Amino acid sequence: MLTVLLGTDTTRRQKRLEALISKERTAGADIRTYSDVSFDPFELRSLAENVSLFGQPLVVVITGIGDIAETRDEFLSVAESLHASRDQFILSENAVPAAFQKGIKALGVAIESFDAIAKKKEDPSGGFALTDAYSARKRSQAWALYRAGISAGAAPREIHGKLFWNVKTMLLAQMTKTANEAGVHPFVYGKAKTAAKNFSQTELQQALADLTVLVHDSILSGVDLEPALEAFILRSLEKTPVR
């Protein structure tokens, strides 16, 4: 069975995701996660079409593929198999194009929407202040902004998403020569290119890997993302970058 959760209200969407997998986790289900960096359509098709050797239920959570055209197409190519499976496959995304949604609905899959209600008040996560402080390796300031955001009601998952994109963009900028090559807006690329000088490539790769593990652990085993993300900020900004 395929379930699609879609919308910018990440708090409500995450609660719905947790509700879908909590019983299966308690029952000892095999819970797996795939992101934009680990997505494998052939592996997903195999999981959907083959019965587990040990007979336990399977729950597969897929996130972070919504902004990659090639990956969206690959997902659609196996979506019918996922929906026909007796196991549970869940796609959770902020947004996907209308054409992708149409392809999903054509399979008889209902899309659950979690759209955020526009608010006039200031973003409790501090907007770009936290990511700017992180990019500048201002450890104390980044930590203080994180705590302030949490105290103001910002969801750890939202902050995680901003940090993940920030680190990923810096790494892309460090590994490419132009904004076009990196696939990001020139202004964003220029800012990331400058900020990336504060980190070694190894540090950025490790930070990206750590952030991926954090969100997977919060899904797979219910790890509290708030203290884990705080520890990540302090740990990843602790050392002087290797030149």
| Identity of residue 152 | A
Per-residue pLDDT averaged across 108-131, rounded? Answer: 72
C-alpha closest to that of 74 among 44, 52, 118, 50: 44
Which CATH number applies to 2-113?
3.40.50.300
As given in the structure block, the two tokens for residue 215 are 């969100």
pLDDT on residue 115: 79
Contact (Cβ atoms closer than 8 angstroms) between residue 40 and residue 77: no
What HEC string does 195-242 produce? Answer: HHHHCCHHHHHHHHHHHHHHHHHHHHCCCCHHHHHHHHHHHHCCCCCC
Contact (Cβ atoms closer than 8 angstroms) between residue 175 and residue 201: yes
Partners of residue 60 on adjacent β-strands: 32, 89
Nearest-angstrom CA–CA distance, 100 and 96: 6
Provide the mean pLDDT of the chain. Answer: 87
Query: What are the extents of the domains in the chain?
Result: 2-113, 129-236
Contact (Cβ atoms closer than 8 angstroms) between residue 125 and residue 159: yes
As given in the structure block, the two tokens for residue 204 are 């950025």
| Identity of residue 203 | E
Q: At the topology level of CATH, where does 129-236 sit?
A: Zinc Finger, Delta Prime; domain 3 (1.20.272)
pLDDT band at 4 (very low <50, low <70, confident <90, very high): very high
C-alpha closest to that of 28 among 55, 1, 2, 47: 55
Contact (Cβ atoms closer than 8 angstroms) between residue 149 and residue 137: no
Per-residue pLDDT averaged across 80-97, rounded? Answer: 91
Nearest-angstrom CA–CA distance, 4 and 32: 16
pLDDT band at 106 (very low <50, low <70, confident <90, very high): very high
Q: How far is CA 93 from the centre of its chain?
A: 8
Residues 139-155 have pLDDT tens digits of 989 998 998 888 888 88
Neighbours of 192 (CB within 10 A): 23
